[in-house]
Amino acid sequence: MISGAGGRLLWVYAKAHGVTGRAVAAYALVWVGVAGASRFSVSALGLQFGPKGSATLDTVAMLLMLLPAAVVSRCLVGRAASLEATRSRPRQPARLLWVSGLAVAAVASPLPVLPMLHWSIDATAFLAEWCLVLGVGLLLAALFATPVASIASFGVLAVFSTPGLVPWSANIVYNVDLKDWSAGLGGALLVAGALVGAVSDGVLAGRTALAGRPERR
Amino acid sequence: MITMRVPHGFIRGRIALFAGVSVLVALQGVATISERSERWVGHWPNTSATVGWAALWGSCLIAAATAWTVAAPRRGRYEHLLATSSRTRLRVYAPGLVTVLCGGLAGYLADIAYVAIRTAPEAVSGHADILEMLPLPASALAAVGTGAVCGRFVPPLLAPVVAAVVPYIAYMWVVYTDVYTDNLFFQDLLPMDDTPRDYLTVPAELLVSKTILALAVGVALLAWTLAAGRTAYGSAVVAGFALAAMFTVAGARADLPSAYAAVCTDGPPRTCVDRAHEHLADEYRRLLTSGIARLDGVDLTDVTFVQSAELLPNSAKFAGRPVPAGSGFVVVPLAEHFTMPAHSIDERAFPAYLGTGLFFAPCVAATTDGSAPPPGQRTAVLLYHWWLTVNGLPTGGGNFPGEVATAAIVADDQKVAEGVARFTAMSGAERGQWFSQHKRDILTCGTAA
Amino acid sequence: MNDSRVLEVKTLSFKYGRKTVLSNVDLTLGVGANVLLGRNGAGKTTLMRMLAGAARPTSGSVRFASDDIDGRSRAGRRVLRTVGWLPQEFGFPPHMTTAEFVAYAAWLKEVPAADVADRVAEVLRVVDLRAKAKVRLRELSGGQLRRAGLAAAIAADPQVLILDEPTAGLDPEQRDGFHELIRQLRSHKVTVIATHLLEDVEALAETIVVVDAGSVRWTGNPRELAGAAGAPEGLKGLRQGFQAVLEGTA
């Protein structure tokens, strides 16, 4: 259990990484939006229509998932660059804990909206797809600047959302029969994203900029 | 004299932005459009209409790039410099906006060039319809406007991804509205259009108003973002008028009478397709010739093969050109790639369509009056089963939707099974003789066994 | 200097791309106020970043009490615990409160979690920001923000304090207050202050290092700087002396 002082410091650490009450509220709101979009349950791109519990998500809901993924990715970046550049506390342990905790919290965050999903949506597949989107987002955010990572994640989803571009038998984003693969790959990407995120700390993206210049530490 | 020099870094940045946007927009457009290639390659009207699909993800990319550019001052925390600048917001943001817009337009131009290059060698008539293509470049301005709004008002790190998602959600919202109201009305707001142009055209008024609407929305959003109130107001009014004009013709599609005209070739074999599928006529004839050759020298010179039973009345009714009378017609569909108006023949499935047209269609025609099964039905099954076997096609009914599963009939019906065995055991010469003797019975579903 | 608490810079060079920003800098800075004086673009900020451990030199070393200041090694990080840095422009999360910001700085410098709250209260008292402890950083004035930055820099009670243009952008009253604050701190710390303002030098300097074009041009005390130009002590003498050093006539 986290002690009072430890809890306060955890909150301080979170705030130093962009977590605010408003961001949390916006994050929750986006999830309600994802669940709301899933109510339509029509894939206008004609990807797949399925019976009860057989569908993953509609393309709109999938693309909307990019927003919470971008919000989570944004929290990888420390906002007090000058303090962090001269820290004496070892970087990686806290960083690894933060990124892992963030990933776990993010994976669990759509659980409250599961009852709001359309009846045709397979909850396991839904969570697997979220893991996939989040994993791609985290990994790319660990390697590139947040906006670049977000747009690259968008590109990945766009490829899978364009009917015919990826064979249905290989469409791990929308084909519910492949949910085990999605979950596995999503989990692997999450772990990879957390590890790379913990190690890189934005250095690869030149993000811990001080006075407009990247840190060379 | 003091001269102002534009920094090299600035120019390099603009070139990189332009190149990035144009390449990404072009590539996604090629990927999205080529995936639907069977619908448009070789047919100018469909080709002209299909370029709109480049806007599906293209708008998202252009909006994201715009948001990224417009959000740059807030990201770099120098917005105060711009706020206190004597330059107008338009002059401050114009270089970035123009760069992204030009990049998007260049990408779309590449997409248009791509479809033109694919269609030109195969098209036998017509030309690209500029009016059909106009909504695509116009949508680039609307996307820039959307991105500018996001870049100004959404948190800077999230602005690009929000801007990327917004056009897609707008697209799907329109689609949902039509799906849930069971019509094809609001989709006419979009640059992309799924209506096949084989026999239908979209009114020019609709295309023009769609283009004006996209331009006006783009200008209005941009002007609003750049605090040019009057322009925003004026553009919104123009957009309103364009929307009103669009709604008076939205959903309207006009027949294209000339597309129904029969285009026939002399035999053997004699073939007729309609003008909309003229580009497939040679391929159709070639496949028929090679298919008939498998019937071991049977003479079908007096038979006319037509792509559909409706060709004969439609050609007379719409195009005013009746098909020349012949001794008999055999309907063999074009076997286009599945259910949409395809523009290439599925060579693998074609023999199944030919066999059905030769052996089964006469029997189907003979039973439409509700009387007892025609006498040649069993022979038809026998012949079709043999035909599928020699062509290496499955006999379980999976060659096209609605096909008879001959394997099941052969398994259940002893006489048919014996007939198949007998027919298969014949030599080529014996079969040719048999076909010559029973040609009339086959084409009328008469007793041939 | 018999005190072991000495900041030593040895043959330090730094290149940014092809551009040489610092070239063969040798310095020894002891307890008290050491002022790096130089024009804009002289390389002061880059040197300050090296001293604070925020950037690594291309060659040469920065040592405090005989240990390298280098965040990559355990020993280097131990030294970093004793270094506080107030950069000219410091990135801050605008939604954090002053107390949270300082607490985060203390935590990063390995102040035990149980002591962080007391430490935050103490440094906010020192910089006179106790009343603003729960105010968000974005709501602070320019002077208050500088003091919040200073509070973060001294959160772990460092032995080396690096202050880059600490009075830039402050009004005269705030500047006086800041001078007073630094005078309190300098007495038992190696305090390095980069500035191009002679008012700061007059108010604070015990040792002056003139930096120009990426190298150290002159080292001495304020009286010696004025004397280098044959001028009397005071602001005018410092100006003339500084000018003479830059022109090479000192």
Residues of B within an 8 Å Cβ radius of A: 28, 31-32, 35-36, 56-57, 60-61, 64, 68, 76, 157-162, 164-165, 168-169, 171-172, 175-176, 179-180
pLDDT class of B238 with cuts at 50, 70, 90: very high
Instruction: Tell me which residue in A42, A44, A63 faces B165 most closely, judged by beta carbons.
Output: A63
B377: three-class secondary structure by DSSP: helix
pLDDT value at residue B6: 63
At C114-130, the pLDDT tens digits run 899 999 999 999 888 89
Q: Does residue B23 register a pLDDT over 60?
A: yes
**Omega of the bond leading into B269 within 30 degrees of 0 (cis):** yes
> Please, which residues bridge with residue C60 across strands?
none
* B214 pLDDT higher than 50: yes
Model confidence at A163: pLDDT above 80 = no
Question: Side chain identity at A216, as an amino acid letter?
Answer: R
Scanning every residue of chain B, which has its alpha carbon at the shortest distance from the alpha carbon of A151? B161
Residue A217 Cα, gap to closest chain C Cα (Å):
6
Among all chains, which residue has been given the structure tokens 């949910």?
A179
Query: Cα dihedral sign for B294, B299, B300, B301?
Result: positive
Tens-digit pLDDT profile for residues A46-59: 444 445 555 667 78
Q: Encode pLDDT of B300-323 as tens digits.
A: 777 788 888 778 777 767 666 666
Higher pLDDT, C247 or B138: B138
* Distance to chain A for C184, nearest Cα, Å: 23
Are B203 and B252 spatial neighbours (Cβ–Cβ below 8 Å)? yes
Alpha carbon distance B6, B3 (integer Å): 10
CB neighbours of A191 closer than 8 A, spacing ≥ 6? Answer: none
* Alpha helices (H) along chain A: 4-16, 21-38, 59-64, 66-74, 81-85, 91-108, 123-143, 146-161, 179-200
Distance CA C70, CA C80 (A): 8
More confident residue, A109 or B266: A109
Amino acid at residue number C208: I
Instruction: List C residues 131-160 in contact with A (Cβ-Cβ < 8 A).
Output: 152, 156
Q: Cβ contact (<8 Å) for A88 and C92?
A: no
* A vs B: CB pairs below 8 A: 72
Q: Please name which of A116, A54, A99, A111 lies closest in space to residue A195, comparing C-alpha atoms.
A: A99
Residue-level pLDDT at B372: 64
What is the four-CA torsion angle of A127, B165, A49, B340, rounded to 10 degrees? -150
Which residues, other chains included, contact A81 with Cβ-Cβ below 8 Å and sequence gap of 6+? Answer: A208, A209, A210, A215, C90, C91
pLDDT for the residue numbered C160: 92
Cα-Cα-Cα-Cα torsion B230, B231, B236, B241, nearest 10 degrees, comes to 110
Stretch among B13-17, B410-414, C212-216 having the lowest mean pLDDT = B410-414
Spatial separation of the C-alpha atoms in residues B161 and B164, rounded to whole Å: 5
Question: Is the sign of the CA dihedral B234, B236, B237, B239 positive or negative?
Answer: positive
Q: Reduced to 3 states, what is the DSSP secondary structure of residue B183?
A: coil
d(CA C228, CA B374): 124
Per-residue pLDDT averaged across A104-131, rounded? 89
Q: What token pair was written down for C173?
A: 């009253």
The more confidently predicted of residues A154 and A43 is: A154
If one compares A204 and B302, the residue with the highest pLDDT of the two is B302
Q: What percent of chain B has pLDDT over 70?
A: 90
Label residue B325 by pLDDT band (50, 70, 90). low
**Per-residue pLDDT reduced to its tens digit, B167-201:** 998 988 888 888 788 877 888 889 988 888 888 88
Q: What is the pLDDT of residue A59?
A: 80
Residues of A in contact with B339 (CB under 8 A): none
For chain C, list residues with pLDDT below 70: 1-4, 71-72, 231, 250
Which residues from chain A sit within 8 angstroms of residue B176, using beta carbons? 40, 42, 44
pLDDT band at B55 (very low <50, low <70, confident <90, very high): very high
Residue of B32, B60, B157 lying closest to A154 (CB–CB) = B60
Q: What is the pLDDT of residues B148-169, one digit of tens each?
A: 999 999 988 889 999 999 999 8
Report the pLDDT value the prediction gives residue B346, as an integer from 0 to 100: 79
Question: Which range has highest mean pLDDT (B62-66, B269-273, C39-43, C228-232)?
Answer: B62-66
Q: What is the DSSP letter of A167?
A: -
Residue B26: pLDDT band (50, 70, 90) is: very high
Average pLDDT estimate for B107-128: 90
Q: Which residues of B touch A24 (CB under 8 A)?
A: none
Q: Of C51, C44, C54, C52, which is closest to residue C21 (Cα–Cα)?
A: C44
**pTM for the full model?**
0.77
**B407-425 average pLDDT score:** 83
Is the predicted pLDDT of residue B359 greater than 90, yes or no? no
β-strands C32-37, C190-195: how paired? parallel
The C-alpha torsion from B397 through B399 and B403 to B406, rounded to 10°, is -40
Q: What percent of chain B has pLDDT over 90?
A: 30
Output the pLDDT for position A56. 64
Residue B373 above 90 pLDDT?
no
Query: Span B277-285, mean pLDDT?
Result: 83
CA distance C202 to C195: 11
The closest alpha carbon to A92, from A12, A180, A203, belongs to A203
Q: What is the pLDDT of residue A48?
A: 46
Predicted local confidence at residue A45, as pLDDT = 44
Residue of B nearest to A152 (CA): B161
Cα-flanking dihedrals φ and ψ of residue B304, to 5°? -105, 125
Greatest distance between any 2 Cα atoms in chain B: 105
Alpha helical stretches, state H, B202-304:
204-225, 229-249, 281-293
CA distance linking residue C24 with residue C214, whole number of Å: 9
pLDDT of residue B340 exceeding 50: no
Percent of chain A with pLDDT over 70: 83
Chain A residue numbers with beta carbons less than 8 Å from the beta carbon of B162 are 67
Q: Which of A95-99, A134-138, B76-80, C6-10 has the lowest mean pLDDT?
A: B76-80
Q: Give the pLDDT confidence score for residue B67 in this predicted structure.
A: 96
B117 has pLDDT over 90: yes
**Total residue count of chain A as it appears in this document:** 217
